[in-house]
Amino acid sequence: MTQLSSSIVAAVSLGLGLALLVVLVRGFRNELKKVPGPWHTLFTDLALKISIITGRRMYYVDSLYKKYGPYVRIAPHEVAVNDPAGFAQIHKIPGFDKSEWYTGLTGLPRQMVFSMTDSKMHAARRRLFARPFSRTFLLQHWHDTIRDMTKFAVHRIHGEAVSAAPSTIAVDVMKWWTFMSTDISGRLMYGHSFGNLETGQATLKLMMMNGKVNGAVNEFPFLKVVGRVLRYLPIPAVQEILCLNEILIEQGRSLLGSVRASDSNSNIFSNIAAEAEKGERTGLDEEDVLIEASGVIIAASDTTAITLTYLVWAVLSRPLLQKALEDEVDRLPDDFGDADLEKLPLLRAVIDETLRLYGAAPGGLPRSVPADGALMHGYFFPGGTTVTTQAWSLHRDPELFPNPLEFSPSRWLNDEVSPAAKKIYHPFGAGARSCLGVNFASMMLRLATAEFFRKCKGAQLASSTTDESMTPENYFLIAPKSHKCEIVLPQAQAQA
């Protein structure tokens, strides 16, 4: 080995040694060392990051709760909280601000209402969505459109199931629910459906994969460089994954002129665009409008489809429950609307229980401790510490929900859910940062569920749909490991 080579090796070794020393010193001086947790979390967040990119974060954190208790250190500057009192403190109004983690999750060039960390900025932006996402506005302007599109989606599911009669064919309901929610979101935001239901093909085929990619890049920023290189590969699927946000923004840009020319006040995009016209008073410009519209479409599409997918699986796995739900919705008038559905106790209970066990975003909700710190459960958390709660664990707390792993809509029917349990039930987020599209999502869930169990009476799970295939992966949102949920219709129903 030459003298130069020896010098390089010595310099590298010295650098690595100093870096390791810094990590060790910081770990031993870590102000969170009194919080229970694996020893290595004093020094590194690598185990947490690996659980994130492998789709197992919520399981990893839940296992740590079982071992260490309701407050557990999961990274050098992050603590997971599975305590109702801590949950209330973190998510009260005003509560702790979102952590910087959200900024990188969307992959968008600017912050949007979902990712804004500053509570005042978020409140101002959220007010722009208040009217177009209110239940009153949706009922007045969009109820019939949503109802008709949910009916069409179920018609397509039924049609595919009977297309090979008298034999049976397995139909992936997750595919059709994703087509439906994407098309409806497009109609509400742009006044323009993506045409997925009509063609039976996904216009934006890899929307969920885009979320996985953004999540991985958020955890390992060096992947941004890799992504910039991969964009130049002449492979359509790769380009769609890496450029989905730009595709949506450009689609919105092409529609912006026609939206303004239509002088319509029913389109959500036009409502926000009108606010942008006010300029400095709102702090909103055209690019912000396009980004917000893109974000809503991405958020609404996967979340609603995932919830409906797990609802169908859970109900079809329980024939007695399925029959009871079919009988309840069968008594509806042919021209039923959302107001009729709100009066159906079993339908409501089935949706509530699905959201408890399989809400689309049950993983971590990271928040940043205020600058002056916070005291929780006898532990002091310095300002800037990340504290995270997850519905996956809180919704499975046996002290709040007896027999927590059992899918039991009766707990909602028989008033078995305590006030304490209702306070931590948060399938749409919590506090001031709860989902702004909750009215929109709830309407879609009710209308689609009712129509499915009326039109597809007697549906059964296909042999390909098992507990194993439906095991949730967790890439911020959850999804079945198989990425599908197939059903079949009995021949008698198929020929009806």
Q: Which helix (H) or strand (E) holds 447?
A: helix 438-455
What confidence score (pLDDT) does residue 492 get? 47
Read off the pLDDT of residues 55-72 as tens digits, 9 standing for 90 and up.
999 999 999 999 999 999
Q: Where do the H-state alpha helices sit in 277-406?
A: 286-316, 319-330, 338-341, 345-358, 391-394
For the chain, 496 residues long, give each residue's pLDDT as a single digit of tens: 566 566 665 666 666 666 565 555 565 577 899 999 999 999 999 999 999 989 999 999 999 999 999 999 999 999 999 999 999 999 998 889 998 888 777 767 778 888 888 888 888 888 888 888 899 999 999 999 999 999 999 999 999 988 765 567 899 999 999 999 999 988 888 777 888 999 998 766 555 556 666 666 667 766 666 666 666 777 766 666 667 667 767 766 766 666 655 555 566 777 776 766 665 566 677 778 778 877 777 777 889 999 999 999 999 999 999 999 999 999 999 999 999 999 999 999 999 999 999 999 999 989 999 999 999 999 999 999 999 999 999 999 999 999 999 999 999 998 899 999 999 999 999 988 899 899 999 999 999 999 999 999 999 999 999 999 999 999 889 999 999 999 999 864 555 5
Residues contributing to the annotated binding site:
435
What confidence score (pLDDT) does residue 191 get? 77
Q: Which helix (H) or strand (E) holds 14?
A: helix 3-28
User: Contact at 8 Å (CB) between 86 and 389?
Assistant: yes
Fold adopted by 34-494: Cytochrome p450 (1.10.630)
What confidence score (pLDDT) does residue 249 get? 73
**DSSP label at residue 433:** G
What confidence score (pLDDT) does residue 202 get? 78
**DSSP label at residue 60:** H
Q: How open is the CA angle 193-194-198, to the nearest 5 degrees?
A: 85
Locate 353 and state its tokens.
Answer: 């229980």
What confidence score (pLDDT) does residue 124 get? 84
What are the extents of the domains in the chain?
34-494
Residues contributing to the annotated binding site for heme:
435
What's the rounded Cα separation, in Å, for the pair 365 and 9?
43
What confidence score (pLDDT) does residue 20 get? 61
List the beta bridge partners of residue 430. none
